[in-house]
Chains A and B, each alone.
Chain A
Amino acid sequence: MPTDLSATHPNQPVPPIAPLPAPPRPVRGRSLWADAWRRLLRNRAAVAGATILVLMALACVAGPMLIPYALDDIFWDAIQAPPSLEAGHPFGTDANGRDLLVRTLHGGRVSLMVGLVATLVSLVIGVSYGAIAGYAGGRVDSVMMRVVDILYSLPFMFFVILLMVFFGRNILLIFVAIGAVEWLDMARIVRGQTLSIKRKEFIEAARAGGVHGFAIVRRHVIPNALGPVVVYMTLTVPKVILLESFLSFLGLGVQEPMTSWGVLISEGAANMEAAWWMLVFPAGFLAVALFSLNFIGDGVRDALDPRDR
């Protein structure tokens, strides 16, 4: 450039070169997760869903502590009383004279907890199964996946119902039963991911460094397969809650005096002609929670997988 300048303006001194602009702040790389998080925060439906869900969870956890009745306190003078603030039962009472607000919040604790724990169970089984099958490959893989195929074609609801009927209604079994149903998809997803990840150089490097097979799966394969897993997990939570209320509705869920939204809806459906509030409030809570969870799930999917928007 300076030669050019001197050529066009031979008599003029070369103007001083303007000082370089201050070097820009080094570009901060955004990780996949930070990127996804920003996209998620821009999704209004997901944010609204998350807000409502957090509020609801707080109410379910803290509410029963603030309300002066227990979930099995019976009000003999207010049996199946309609909702009334003056009487101190904003949601009314049930057919046994128990405060419905407390019971709905307690039911929420159970339903939300089942949703979380059973999803975690399915996550642990599915991710380890899928990662091992994918990483081992060959005959182990085809046998393990063949088992998944067969399990897929079973009418699972029937087995879950049988399990609940014959081995008693306890909450631990609900977690196991639901977790055992929901892990199949997770295993398939993780296996697919693992198949592509295990060809990458960093796996080869780890193997060359003498890392043991299971350690590779745990430290290198699974963390890199987590994106689709998180998406699928958020969509599993509402499915699990639905499944639990389905079982409870059939009378196979948690046992009295414990309750869940499914139990309350079932009682409400039986009494709805005389006491609409027994159906409407629990059903409303369940519907709002499921809506929120589905909006969050869709939001997470769009955020982590921006292709199919």
Chain B
Amino acid sequence: MLSYAVRRLLGAIPTLLVILTIAFFMIRLAPGGPFDDERTLPAEIEANMKAAYNLDQPLPVQYLRYLGGVLRGDFGPSFKYRDFTVNQLIWGGFPVSLRIGGIAIALAAVVGTTLGALAALRQNSGLDHGVMALAMTGITIPNFVVAPLLTLVLGVHLGLLPVGGYGDGSWRNLLLPVVALALPQIAYIARLTRASMIETLRSNFVRTARAKGLPEGTMLRRHALKGALLPVVSYLGPATAGIITGSVVIEQIFGIPGIGRYFVQGALNRDYTLVMGVVVFYGALIILFNLLVDLLYGALDPRVRYD
């Protein structure tokens, strides 16, 4: 298993390299630059600034320089947030993003599997139909619609929760963004759990467990749930990617000082290094999480062999 993990980590390097290369050249070949402003700078000053950031060198040289920096863990200075390096910006925003995203994933996993399992146990009951309708809604209505609507009702009209902002990070500030992020994933996980639970409950080992007289609750806990949750575990990879992408919008809507908002702002500002930093950082994070999920899957399912 260790050698498998190492091999997967090594396999991630070319993927990261592809991500970095595509992003780099896409950004650099596009029209516009970080020093385009309403006020045009005198030519000498602009040349000096470009030289200061090595933007005056040929593109391949810049690329290799950047690559060398990233290998040493240095994403370079930000072009727009003048006194900050990209590393500082990313590490400054990451705890906030991690907190919101982490709670959202945990919430999605717990609530989604619970709802899905309950629906499967009471198949075709009112509860089942209710959960499935809820799941359909969660899948259909995007979180950038849910978020403003929740804010409108709970924040503006009822005044129960703050409309936006992170404040000191209390649960009142976190609740709406977390729910908005988690809702689509809850919906997917509930659907997945229900489908695989229904299948598991019809399988032979469940019949055997019942036949040998195991109480229904023990049977569920010890046998059925474990089998039924396997597809959910493998969905956690895409779910993380979804939550990371969603955070780009949700952080913007709620004014959360995480990494997501840097991405769009940075792209609009032509803040090359910041955008690159976010892309590479999140790309690495998604790859890493996918690896963890695969290892977890192998630990849960003894049929999986690493070879």
Q: Which chain A residues have a beta carbon within 8 Å of chain B's beta carbons?
A: 150, 153-155, 157-159, 161-163, 165-168, 238, 242, 245-246, 249-252, 265-266, 268-269, 272-273, 276, 279, 283, 286-287, 290-291, 294
Contacts and interface: CB of A to CB of B under 8 A. Distances in A.
A44 to B, nearest CB: 14
A266 B148 CA distance: 9
Contacts of A291: 136, 140
6 contacts: A155-B282, A161-B248, A246-B142, A269-B253, A283-B141, A290-B140
A166 B27 contact: yes
A287 B141 contact: yes
A95 to B, nearest CB: 15
Contacts of A158: 23, 245, 263, 278-279, 282-283
B275 A162 contact: yes
Q: Which 3 A-B pairs have the closest CB atoms?
A: A166-B30, A269-B148, A165-B267
Contacts of A294: 136, 139-140
B244 interface: yes
A264 B253 CA distance: 15
A276 B282 contact: no
Interface stretch (B14-22, B44-52, B76-84): B14-22
B101 to A, nearest CB: 14
Contacts of A155: 19, 241, 244-245, 279, 282-283, 286
B26 interface: yes
Dominant secondary structure of chain B at its interface with chain A: helix
Interface residues of B, number: 44
Nearest to A265: B145
Contact of A162 (B136, B267, B283): B267
A182 B110 CA distance: 30
Interface in B1-59: 14-15, 18-19, 22-23, 26-27, 30-32
A279 B141 CA distance: 14
B156 interface: yes
A246 to B, nearest CB: 7
Given A166-B32, A238-B140, A157 B148 contact: no
A154 B286 CA distance: 9
A153 B156 contact: no
Contact of B263 (A153, A161, A242, A246): A161
